[in-house]
Amino acid sequence: MIPVIIPGYKNKDQLEQCIDKLKNQTVPVEIFIRDNCDNNVYFTAAVNEGIKKFLNEPCQYMLILNQDMYLAPDAVEKMATFMDSHQRCGIGTPLQLYSKNPDYAIYAGCFEAFPAGKHKHGPLSQFTRDEEIFWGNGACMIFRKEMIVEIGLLDENFVFIGSDSDYCFTARARGWQVWIITSAKGIHEHGASGAVSDPEISKLKINDMIYFGKKWLTGDLYRHLAYEGKSCSPEIVAEIMSQYCKAKTELEQQTVVKSTKTAH
């Protein structure tokens, strides 16, 4: 049994279609829906609720799924089979197909994560080879439970977007791999995350990207949290790192000289 965690929000037709596709999967799944209609904790916290529910359950994997992602009948099985044969893959993602043209992949891996995520896309026939990727899109991700236990839950400082790339970078920093699994497919009918006319959604997305920048790009987060933070200007950090690199080079040179003398 593979748990499937769905953050549900308002669009009943999408959710019903998503569930229908899950019920037709070639492997058994257990569906957990975090209904955000009345008490909206948004994407990241909703996913974490589901993860915590299944952490003590006898499962190897958990599937994170948007309600606007409709999986092919064998998609979950294809992802699980791939994970079985790639033990260092902590996160896998399927191909996402365009709802108006299923022969076109709107997501087949990722490019930039910041300031706006960019995806590989093109005719479906172009994407036939599984490959490691920098990060995976959060509309559908399969997580290895062993990895979750090691690296923890998603960072809830990301409310709406950014938690998928952040979690992938965190996993990769700990030695796990992220893959695109081309044999697994689903149609993605964009929902709230793609909305451009809602000022509240736009504000949440901007806040998420500001936090992403502080966490991964500027060092501001460390400077805010650390005792020595006030003295960690980019210039000082660069100088310290330069000194360490210089010391490392000198030690390596000394080791080479020592080993040469020993050989003689």
Residue 132 phi, psi dihedral angles, 5° rounding: -70, 140
* Domain membership flag for residue 123: yes
| 246 and 204, same domain (yes or no) | no
The answer to whether residue 151 scores a pLDDT higher than 80 is yes
Q: Can you tell me the mean pLDDT for 212-224?
A: 92
* Domain membership flag for residue 223: no
The answer to whether residue 200 scores a pLDDT higher than 80 is yes
| 177 and 256, same domain (yes or no) | no
**Cα within 13 Å of Cα(105), Cβ side:** 25
Instruction: Quote the strand ranges of 167-261, DSSP E.
Output: 177-188
| 60 and 179, same domain (yes or no) | yes
Distance of CA 155 to the CA centre of its chain: 11
Q: For residue 161, what is the domain's CATH number?
A: 3.90.550.10
| 36 and 67, same domain (yes or no) | yes
**117: enclosing H helix or E strand:** none
| 75 and 36, same domain (yes or no) | yes
Amino acid 264: pLDDT: 59
Amino acid 198: pLDDT: 76
Amino acid 191: pLDDT: 58
Q: For residues 128 and 182, is the Cβ–Cβ distance under 8 A?
A: yes
* Domain membership flag for residue 139: yes
Distance of CA 1 to the CA centre of its chain: 22
| 139 and 241, same domain (yes or no) | no
Amino acid 197: pLDDT: 62
* Domain membership flag for residue 75: yes
* Domain membership flag for residue 124: yes
Host domain of residue 239: 233-263
β-pair type (101-107, 29-35): unpaired
The answer to whether residue 256 scores a pLDDT higher than 70 is yes
CA distances (Å), 148 to each of 51, 56, 165, 223, 250, in order?
A: 9, 12, 15, 27, 40
**Tokens representing residue 246 in the block:** 């210089």
| 136 and 256, same domain (yes or no) | no
Amino acid 27: pLDDT: 98
Q: Can you tell me the mean pLDDT for 104-108?
A: 97
Amino acid 236: pLDDT: 92
| 129 and 15, same domain (yes or no) | yes
Number of domains in the chain: 2
* Domain membership flag for residue 160: yes
Q: Can you tell me the mean pLDDT for 104-109?
A: 97
| 251 and 152, same domain (yes or no) | no
Task: Find the radius of gyration of the CA atoms of the chain.
Answer: 22
| 255 and 201, same domain (yes or no) | no
Amino acid 261: pLDDT: 65
pTM of the entire structure? 0.90
